Amino acid sequence: MTALPLVFDAPRRGMPPRHLADLTAAERAAAVVELGEKPFRAKQLSHHYFSRLTVDPAEMTDIPAASRERLVAELMPSLLTEVRAVSCDEGATRKTLWRAHDGTLLESVLMRYPDRATLCISSQAGCGMACPFCATGQGGLDRNLSAAEIVDQVRAAAVVMRDGLMPGPQGRLSNIVFMGMGEPLANYRRVLDAVRRITAPTPEGLGISQRSVTVSTVGLAPAIRRLADEGLQVRLAVSLHTPDDELRDTLVPVNNRWPVAKVLDAARYYLDRTGRRVSIEYALIKDMNDQPWRADLLAERLREHLGHLVHVNVIPLNPTPGSKWDASPKPVEREFVRRVNAGGVACTVRDTRGQEIAAACGQLAGESVPS
């Protein structure tokens, strides 16, 4: 199997026009000056977008009417249009299908829990990592998302929580996970910009704690090391799915370039640089990666590379229609978790949400693509 190239930034095919959320505070000020406005207008626009969560010029009454339409048109162009929103789990899970300016489809999933509200966001439209059990991977990569397209998913979910559009009282979006469509570290620069916008204090950004943001990767080892040196406190999640290279070469084709040992060494570097515990994602697939010996080997390899600052999230596979891949039976799942824990590594089963609404990322978009 041919090794996949490391691509941090794909060509700007179909990328949207410039948006406030793509820019730093200094760049925003320069942009409004280019438009013939005073620099402080940038802070006003930032307040409306990041603090008030609005893109409606009619609500921006602190900006002269003659200026606001032009400023919004130039610096807050419409990025995402809601195509469909479906809910389940008694309304506690809400999946949204978005259409970008060029027709590109992407998805986000908002999950409300008693103590938090977590948004799973996409960093690419589609994915180029070609993992055969993943709905997004089956469709291939369409394009990278811009930083603003990533941030706008978060802003929209924050509005849902603030305005009480899910069951329960009005609330606040608290956690962000880059576990939607795409490989975040293959869109490195824009994902990093988005993380900085999401976590910067208002009105420079959305004010979500860095420690409440998780960036997931299938194991682009150089990019993991690069992220470790950014001075951030986001959590790293590595989608490992099996501890042995022989199977991982098939399940996660990028393993041909960066095998398990290199990925775990990079994860150790991240742990050492940030002090943050690493999460290991393990989609449990019937008769594929759920054998007891693989549980034992997983615990052994994680102890060797990461010590005790690691946690395994076992994920019951959410099968896609017509797929040969299926979730492991519950007794097999329980034994797998027991053995990893017995091997000295913390391991739990992730709460599954949204199976009846095609919540595996890529399914809703796939259903919406004309045949």
Q: Which parts of 11-146 fold into alpha helices (H)?
A: 25-34, 40-46, 65-75, 135-139
Map tokens 């978060």 to a residue: 154
Q: What is residue 13's predicted lDDT score, i.e. its pLDDT? A: 55
Residue 252: exposed, middle, or buried by beta-carbon count in 10 A (0-12, 13-18, 19+)? buried
pLDDT along the chain (371 residues), means of 10: 39 78 98 97 98 97 95 97 93 95 95 95 96 86 97 98 92 96 98 98 98 98 98 98 98 97 98 98 96 98 97 89 87 98 97 59 48 31
Where on the phi/psi map is residue 343: left (φ > 0), alpha (ψ -120 to 50), or beta?
Answer: alpha
Q: What is residue 11's predicted lDDT score, i.e. its pLDDT? A: 40
Q: What is residue 3's predicted lDDT score, i.e. its pLDDT? A: 36
DSSP string, 267-306: HHHHHHHH-PPEEEEEEEBTTTT--HHHHHHHHHHHHHHH
Q: Which residues are catalytic?
A: 107, 361
Q: Do residues 135 and 151 make contact, with C-beta atoms less than 8 angstroms apart?
A: no
Please give the Cα distance from 239 to 218 (Å, whole number): 5
Q: What is residue 28's predicted lDDT score, i.e. its pLDDT? A: 98
Please give the Cα distance from 180 to 183 (Å, whole number): 9
Nearest to 191 by CA among 214, 169, 209, 168: 214
Q: What is residue 371's predicted lDDT score, i.e. its pLDDT? A: 31
| Whole-structure pTM value | 0.92
Cross-strand bridge partners of residue 278: 310
